[in-house]
Amino acid sequence: MTKYKTSKLPYNAIFLIAIAFTLFLSGCRDNWDSYYKTDDENIEKTILQGIENDPALSKFNEYLKISGYDKQLASPLSYSVWAQTNDIISDIEPGDTASISNYVGYCISVGNYNDTEQSRIKMLNGKYALLDNTNNTIENASFSGTPQVYQNGLLYITTEKFSPKKNIWEIFTEDAPASVQKQFVETLYGYIFDEENSKIIGVDQETGLSVYDSVKIYTNKILIDVADLEDEEKLYTFIILSDDAYNSTVAAYKTYYKPLDSTSVDYMAAYNTCIDLVIPGKIETADLPAATITETGIEMSLQPDNIADFELASNGIIYYVNTNPIALTSKFKEMVVEGEDIESAKTLTWKIVQAEGASGGYELYYEAEKGTWAQYQFDIPYPARYQFSISAVAPDTLSPYNQYIELHQKGADDKSVPFAAFDKALTAADYSQKIPMGEYTFQEEQTIAIRIYSDGDVTPVPPITLDRIIITPTNE
C-alpha cells in the first residue's frame, strides 16, 4: 500500500555534503590526530576494517554484511557509527534482512557530529536519533566518549542497547490498542488529490482557482488535512482518546453541525473530533503547558492527571488520555469581525476612529444617511446555527434608536436582496454591551456579506458606532 510522504532531502544532496566533509577531513587530518586519541594504524583504515578487526563487534559486523551497509563503510565517504557490542546487540533472525537493515541503519549517520552538544541527526535508515555529546548518549543509550578515528569517519562503541522506534503513524495504525477513534481514522484511506505533485494547467474563469492535471495518491485524509505523522523529519504530539472521551465528544459535536444533508452529521462530528488531536512539536510530560495550540488552530489543555499512558515515537510522543483536553468553547468559539475592517460602504462619510474601550482600540464611526450601510465579509466555517451580535463604544446620543443587520450572499451590491435581517432598539446604556441581534442556520460552509444599517426613519439619522460583530455558533 503506497502512502503519502512529504519530500525529504534527496540522497544526492547527502552525498555531496558527505564528499565535502571527506575533503575537509583529509585536509584537517593533522588536527584530528591532535584532537582525538588516534594511532597511525587506524587512520589508514576504513571504519569497516576497524569493525572487522574487533572481536567484540562480530555480531554487528555480521549484520553489516547482511544489510549491505558494509559497502558504504568501506567507501571514501565520511560516517559516524555507534556500534553495539556482542553482549548488548539485539538478536534478529539472519533471514529477516529488513529488520536487520533497519536496526543497523539506525546506528550509522553520514558526517561528523562530535562537536554537536545535542541534536537530532538523520541515520541511514531514514529515521532520526537524539545525540547528546555532553552526556555521551544516543537515544539515551551511553557510548564511549572518545571515538576511534578512521580514514572515513568516527567509530563509537555503545555500552547500552538502542534501536529504532516506529513513528507516530506506525504506532497508531499497527500497535495501538483497538479504539473507536482508530476505527474511524482507518475509514479515511483513499485516493486523495496531491496538490504538491500536480501540475497547474490553467485557471477556472468563474472561480479564479487553479486547474490541475491532477495526481492522486492512496493515503489517509488525516495525513493530508492535518499533519504527516509518518514524516520522520518533524516532531509531533499525538492524542489518542479513550472510547468514552471519543464518543462523548462526537455526541456533543453532533448538536452543533446542521448540514443540508443530515446523514453527514455523524461523519462531520467524528472527523472534527479526530483532526484536532495533533500538536506541533514533541511535548514531554514534564513540560506540558497550561494551554497549547493544535495543528488545526484549536486551543488544548493537556494536563498530567488526564494522561493514562504515553509512548515515545521516532518523530514525537503519543498520549493516551481519559477525557478530551479540548473544551467545547475552544472548538465552537466566538468569531469576531472588527468594525475597522470594513469591506465596502454606501456612503462617503464613514471613518475609523480611536475609541477607548474598543476592541483593538478602534471602531467604525458612520455618519449615517437614509439607506446607507457598511458591509463586511465573513466566512461561515461549518454548517451550524449562528447568533449575530454587535458591540460598540456608546454613541453620544442618549435617545433610543434602531440598529439593523442584513445577511447577503458574497459579492452583494446595492441592489442585493438579503436572505436574513435583524433589527433591535438600542440605547446608549446598553449599546456598549454585547447585544444579540438574531440567529440564522447555515447548512453549508460559505462566504457571506454582513451589512450594518442605522434607522432610516428617524430624522436626523442616528450615527453608527461599531466596535465589532460577534458570530457565535450555538447547539440549539
Q: What CATH number did the domain enclosing 104 receive?
A: 2.30.180.10
- DSSP secondary-structure letter at 133? T
- Higher model confidence: residue 426 or residue 233? 233
User: Cα(307)–Cα(18) distance, rounded to whole angstroms?
Assistant: 43
Say yes or no to pLDDT of 223 above 90: yes
- Nearest Cα residue to 439 out of 462, 468, 461, 407: 407
Do residues 122 and 187 share a domain?
Answer: no
With respect to residue 217, please indicate whether it lies within any of the assigned structural domains: yes
- Kindly state whether residue 239 falls inside one of the protein's structural domains: yes
| In the chain, % of residues over pLDDT 70 | 83
Q: CA-CA distance, 4 to 224, in Å (whole number)? A: 8
Mapped onto helix, strand or coil, the DSSP state of residue 178 is coil
Given a cut of 80, is residue 285 above it in pLDDT? Answer: yes
- pLDDT (0 to 100) of residue 12: 43
Q: Is the pLDDT of residue 217 over 70?
A: yes
> Residue 2 falls within a domain, yes or no?
no
Last residue of a domain, one of 158, 188, 216: 158
Q: What cell numbers appear for 282 in the block?
A: 514533541
Average pLDDT of the segment spanning 405-431: 82
Q: CATH number, domain at 371?
A: 2.60.120.260
Count of the separate structural domains present in the chain: 3
Cα separation, 404 vs 431, whole angstroms: 13
pLDDT value at position 100? 96
Co-location of 190 and 228 in the same domain: yes
The average pLDDT across 198-219 equals 72
Residues 390 and 448 grouped into a single domain: yes
168-172, 176-180, 212-216, 293-297: segment of lowest average pLDDT: 212-216
Between 197 and 460, residue with greater pLDDT: 460
Residues 15 and 150 in one domain: yes
Would 3 be classed as within a structural domain?
Answer: no
**Which residue, chain included where needed, has cell 451590491?**
413
Q: How far apart are CA 271 and CA 261, in angstroms?
A: 16
178 and 322 co-located in one domain: yes
**Stretch 161-165: mean pLDDT:** 94
Same domain, 369 and 303: no
Q: Which residue has the higher pLDDT, 59 or 28?
A: 59
Contact 21, 111 (CB under 8 A): yes
Average pLDDT over all residues of the chain: 86
Residues 203 and 134 in one domain: no
Same structural domain for residues 312 and 193?
A: yes
The 3 state secondary structure assigned to 91-113 is CCCCCCHHHHHHHHHCCEEECCC
Q: 458 pLDDT exceeds 80?
A: no
Residues 213 and 91 in one domain: no
Residue 126, in any domain of the structure: yes
Confidence of residue 29 (pLDDT cuts 50, 70, 90): very low
238 in a structural domain: yes
Task: Give residue 180's pLDDT.
Answer: 98
287 within a domain of the structure (yes/no): yes
How sure is the predictor about 376, in pLDDT bands with cuts at 50, 70 and 90? very high
CATH number of the structural domain spanning residue 251: 2.30.180
Which pLDDT value is given to residue 403?
A: 74
Q: Which of 411, 423, 403 is nearest to 449 (CA)?
A: 411
Predicted confidence at residue 53, as pLDDT, reads 95
Whose CA is closest to 469, among 374, 368, 398, 344?
A: 374
- 4 domain residue, yes or no: no
Angle in degrees, 0-180, between the axes of helices 243-254 and 265-275, rounded to the nearest 10: 130
At 269, which amino acid appears? A
Give yes or no: residues 36 and 128 share one domain: yes
Q: Looking only at Cα atoms, what is the longest distance across the chain?
A: 102
| Span 77-105, average pLDDT | 95
* Domain end marker among 328, 360, 377: 328
pLDDT number for residue 400: 53
Q: Is the pLDDT of residue 401 over 70?
A: no
- pLDDT per position as a tens digit, 45-77: 999 999 999 999 999 999 999 999 999 999 889
Average pLDDT over residues 98-115: 93
- 397 — pLDDT class (breaks 50, 70, 90): low
**pLDDT value at 158 more than 90:** yes
Indicate if 246 and 378 belong to the same structural domain: no
Average pLDDT of the segment spanning 293-312:
96
Residue 18 reports pLDDT greater than 70: no
pTM for the predicted model, two decimal places: 0.80
**So what's the pLDDT on residue 335?**
95
Same-domain status, 312 and 353: no
Confidence class of residue 365 from pLDDT cuts 50, 70 and 90?
confident
> Would you state the pLDDT for residue 54?
96
- Residues paired with residue 292 on neighbouring β-strands, in sequence order: 300
Of 158, 183, 198, which residue constitutes the final position of a domain? 158
* Percentage of the chain modeled with pLDDT above 90: 63
Q: CA dist 318 to 313, 408, 449, Å?
A: 7, 45, 42
Full domain range(s) for residue 27: 11-158
